[in-house]
Chains A and B, each alone.
Chain A
């Protein structure tokens, strides 16, 4: 706890020097997030291509102070004493229920993103700038490929991330390698704070993310063009398009990361092959006991064959896998207790499930849009 206080004090001193208004939010706040954090908002700027000039003119007419508030470094706000011990315990429970470090890091990323999004929405910010450098994004691209987020690569590592609708996430530092940034901050004496992450002091193979980092750094030493080549590759990608229709949009997006659902069981895909392997390796009877495409205790190698865990849980969590994309599904499967997820995720999942049940009931009466 004391380390947190010292870090916050250091951060505060840096922020006050910049003169910008700042926010410091403890991670425990995720437990009091509303479900709107999972729903993409509508953005008014959709048709703004031709009216860009008008928008700019209108904007410059507004107050100067508003312009400063628009730019926020994507870190923190609030006082840390505001969060209750109960929330801290819940957070610890959530992270301890994730068995692998990879899943923990992914969960942390996801929660951070939701929190930043929520704070941005509350304070009416339309853009959030993240400070990821070229090197860091190259590592992120590779580790995203390794966890199966191919469909969302452009959103996660591209210049702007449009999947949240009203809030746009931009990454202006993506052209600069970490060496350049280090030199700059050394020469110009930019103060910085080091906060140990989840994988600090762990061995390299503890998680996929740290393994990728080591791999890219080593490769970069032998082949200096590695990072820039990966960066160029990421520039040429785009995110899988979601249906344009707004009302259907939230249903066809992943519950947790808000990209298009890619875990469809269409023919001859890797996902389909994984499901088939699951089915073929287990007793056939179990197929009838488990509903929809959810199989139990997948990569859990401690699972004793003969015990079906899914029958002991209430219906809502087992359906979670149908609403998330492939990689979020892997993360969820690594969890022992899905109930330790923050309530906003669980309520949204329950809501979607009831909606899909409703849709099933009225399926025959719905008219499909002609594409």
Chain B
């Protein structure tokens, strides 16, 4: 028996929303999806009129849908924003170069200007070279830290006011779970914020308009809209710790679809005890980027890579910051510990 769409009650329903379980027809689903993002943007006051916004585009489904919806809403509701596509080339052969082709196609489809920044030009290292040194286990740290800085540097080159990324509800929920499992209190408090705090030191705020959109709904949207995106997983991802949190979240979703929103809700409402030590934001003494330590993470990681000590950025290394800054050579013991890499 064909089920009617629960919103317009006229057309036949073609899909069931993962988020709420309602059966909807195609146009009602599009409308509901876009409208939710619009409401998120409005209620969180993400953008102001006349701002230049860079969309972090990787060619994957999240950023493709984000670019599509942002352009659509900008036109439909007249946000008055200047949109750019900003893409980062990490130098992972077989993965990133293919997805960059997709981004270039997106640029033509949406008629948005595109800028590509690469790890090679910014840091002198590609992810492939990094993995050869670091191994398969901790390389996501490098990629993530470098990418964030790369996004910021690219955005500064473009002179934008805000960056928006395609992080969806599943991503935020996974991050909450991962931070609980890793015991990272400081991040736990910040990770559910929809926009990073814009400080006076000039760091560009990053926001997540898709924060409340389920990953499955994003895929449904892209599928029904016939959007062109790149759908292969990063070749280094199977060994990441995040995979455990992701598998758990997928199972939770299969038991109860609202769990994803529940996890985000828990992350938003939990409170830390007063007196818990939290890192204070300052600037890196070498590159001037924001950092809570004397040296920002990217500088520490780079130093480790350049000296052939791949574990320098992984684990506790605060005591060595002074030494690195002063360009002193590290002692035998320290070098030995930092060089050992298990595959």
Chain A interface (Cβ within 8 Å of chain B)? 100, 102, 141-142, 144-151, 153-154, 205, 207-208, 211-212, 215, 219, 226, 229-230, 232-233, 236-241, 262, 267-274, 276-278, 280-283, 298-301, 303, 305-306, 326-327, 330
**Is B132's CB within 8 Å of the partner chain A?**
no
Whether B258 contacts A144 by the Cβ 8 Å rule is no
Whether A237 contacts B273 by the Cβ 8 Å rule is yes
CB within 8 Å for A273 and B270 given contacts A205-B251, A236-B276, A281-B22: no
Whether B270 contacts A153 by the Cβ 8 Å rule is yes
**Is B182's CB within 8 Å of the partner chain A?**
yes
Q: How many residues of B contact A (CB 8 A)?
A: 59
Q: How far does the alpha carbon of A142 sit from the alpha carbon of B244 in the complex, in Å? A: 14
25 contacts between A and B (CB under 8 A): A100-B256, A141-B180, A146-B259, A147-B259, A148-B266, A150-B270, A154-B271, A205-B251, A215-B248, A219-B181, A219-B244, A229-B183, A233-B185, A269-B265, A270-B212, A270-B264, A278-B20, A280-B7, A281-B28, A283-B6, A283-B8, A283-B9, A299-B21, A299-B257, A305-B3
Q: How far does the alpha carbon of A208 sit from the alpha carbon of B230 in the complex, in Å? A: 33
Interface of B is mostly: helix
**Contacts of A219 on B, CB cut-off 8 Å?**
181, 244
**Contacts of B3 on A, CB cut-off 8 Å?**
305
Q: How far does the alpha carbon of A273 sit from the alpha carbon of B44 in the complex, in Å? A: 11
**Contacts of B266 on A, CB cut-off 8 Å?**
144-146, 148-151, 153
What are the 3 A-B residue pairs with the smallest beta carbon separation, nearest first? A150-B266, A305-B6, A148-B262
Whether B265 contacts A271 by the Cβ 8 Å rule is yes
**Is B269's CB within 8 Å of the partner chain A?**
yes
**Contacts of B259 on A, CB cut-off 8 Å?**
146-147, 208
B270 interface neighbour in A212, A237, A281, A326, Cβ under 8 Å:
A237
**Is B106's CB within 8 Å of the partner chain A?**
no
A81 to chain B minimum Cβ distance, whole angstroms, is 38
A150 to chain B minimum Cβ distance, whole angstroms, is 3
**Is B204's CB within 8 Å of the partner chain A?**
no
Q: How far does the alpha carbon of A146 sit from the alpha carbon of B267 in the complex, in Å? A: 10
B262 interface neighbour in A141, A268, A272, A327, Cβ under 8 Å:
A327
**Is B341's CB within 8 Å of the partner chain A?**
no
**Contacts of A154 on B, CB cut-off 8 Å?**
271, 273
Question: Which stretch of B31-39, B138-146, B305-313, B331-339 is in the interface?
Answer: B31-39
**Contacts of B244 on A, CB cut-off 8 Å?**
215, 219
Whether B212 contacts A146 by the Cβ 8 Å rule is no
Per-residue CB contact flags for chain B residues 261-301 toward chain A (1 = under 8 Å, else 0) read 11111111111111010000000000000000000000000
A269 to chain B minimum Cβ distance, whole angstroms, is 6
Q: A229-B183, A262-B265 are in contact. List 10 more A-B contacts (CB 8 A).
A: A145-B266, A146-B262, A148-B263, A205-B255, A241-B271, A274-B258, A276-B36, A280-B7, A281-B7, A327-B262
